[in-house]
Structure 1
């Protein structure tokens, strides 16, 4: 019995799967938005009820304008 438990423990994958928390791939895109308002970005991606309100707020904000200028200057436009 003890050996079976030990074998099971060895077979368990990384801690993300063990705790049951699955991290979506969207999180990798946060590197693009380092200098933006992270709470706003979070709500754009994950809050369905207020999605359009925050999207409008984001596109009309200065953050978005600076973001676009920066991306155009460096010729790396990977947007959403």
Structure 2
């Protein structure tokens, strides 16, 4: 460990810990396919299985997006909902 880091009160974290911090942050704004490729996972399913649990608002966000899409379609006269 470099001497300067040893003199701080910062917690010691490993590279893998950084990866587990980076992945959910990326999934908050990047398409899961892109995140999966950047993380080197062979499938999107692996990425989502590993990291989606740390995104508690996913279901609410999805519901809001679907609601907005339905409202937009209805305001254009294109739906019966």
- Name the TM-score, length of structure 2 as normaliser: 0.29
TM-score (norm 1): 0.29
